[in-house]
Amino acid sequence: MTAPYGERLTAAVGERGALCVGVDPHPGLLDRWDLPRDAAGLERFARGVVEALGETVAVFKPQSAFFEAYGSAGIAVLELVLADIAQAGAISLLDVKRGDIGSTMDAYAAAYLADGSPLAADAITVSPYLGVETFAATADLADQHGRGLYVLALTSNPEAPAQQRARTAAGFSVAETVLDWAAARNAGATPLGSVGLVVGATIEPPGLDFTRLNGSILAPGVGAQGGEPEHLPAIFGAATPLVLPSASREVLSAGPDPDALRRVATSLANRSTAALTP
């Protein structure tokens, strides 16, 4: 895999529309699909989503926790899902939110970003609260293998502002320091760098200049969580074209009928692309 992540993401979104679909096998969704709460139900759900949408959706975001809950059998399903996404020609963004230091972070990076790993994804989410510089080697490995990182910056949960909008001794918010680091990593890349940010689709406008990121902005929370594609320009302003809206329950609740899944996903992708186009 030699093409940079930003280039591959841009091509996928240009071809299929601006939408990331979360693959979140929540027990309640397994019930809704009339599937058992076990590894077999997990596999039928997750692989069924990719089978139905694999040729139409640009990005899939499996939530690792829902697979990990089933132990080694769940991880085996996750490996299959990541392979299915690659086979479908879509981008895989594994939501693992890892964050550590030294050799431990290096091991996470090798597990999720190195060619040949059964859990390798096109991109992963990471948590920066041990310091953004702890991701320097991870970002280097991602670049080496044409993969990407999405660093948590401003999330929608009510507990987040106390940490993410807190001010450093230099007078900048923590989220702004994350943006600064990501922008520095992406400087000069075309069409986009490989380091993105996670910024919730339902947050209050943060007053940050995201245009300098030169990278992708994952905006989870579209649909059932209250975010609407049409509201994104009010949050991101001139950086709106960088945004990748993400929806999970809004799409997944339409299953298990493949046609219904495709109708909802196509509608959201069309609305998102229209809302994000200058």
Q: Is the pLDDT of residue 245 over 60?
A: yes
- Strand duo 148-154 + 195-199: pairing: parallel
Per-residue pLDDT for 174 more than 60? yes
pLDDT bin (cut points 50, 70, 90) of residue 192 is very high
97 is catalytic: yes
Full set of structural domains in the chain with CATH: 5-270 (3.20.20.70)
Which run of H or of E encompasses 22? strand 20-23
Task: Provide mean pLDDT across the span 206-220.
Answer: 96
Under DSSP, the state recorded for 240 is G
**pLDDT over 80 (residue 248):** yes
Over residues 130-151, the mean pLDDT reads 97
pLDDT digits (tens, 9 = 90+) for 82-96: 999 999 999 999 999
Catalytic residue among 26, 32, 97, 249: 97
> Quick one: pLDDT band at residue 225, thresholds 50, 70, 90?
confident
CB atoms < 10 A from the CB of 204, how many? 12
CA–CA gap between residue 28 and residue 34 (Å, rounded): 10
**Quick one: pLDDT at residue 2?**
75
What pLDDT, on a 0 to 100 scale, did the predictor assign at position 69? 98
Q: What pLDDT shows up at residue 37?
A: 98
Phi and psi at 147, nearest 5°, equal: -120, 175
**Tell me: the pLDDT tens digits for 16-75?**
999 999 999 999 999 999 999 999 999 999 999 999 999 999 999 999 999 999 999 999
- Neighbouring residues of 234: CB distance < 8 A, sequence distance ≥ 6: 205
227 pLDDT exceeds 90? Answer: no
Terminal Cα-to-Cα distance of the chain (whole angstroms): 31
- pLDDT reading at 1 higher than 60: no
Query: What is the pLDDT at residue 44?
Result: 98
What's the mean per-residue pLDDT of the chain? 96
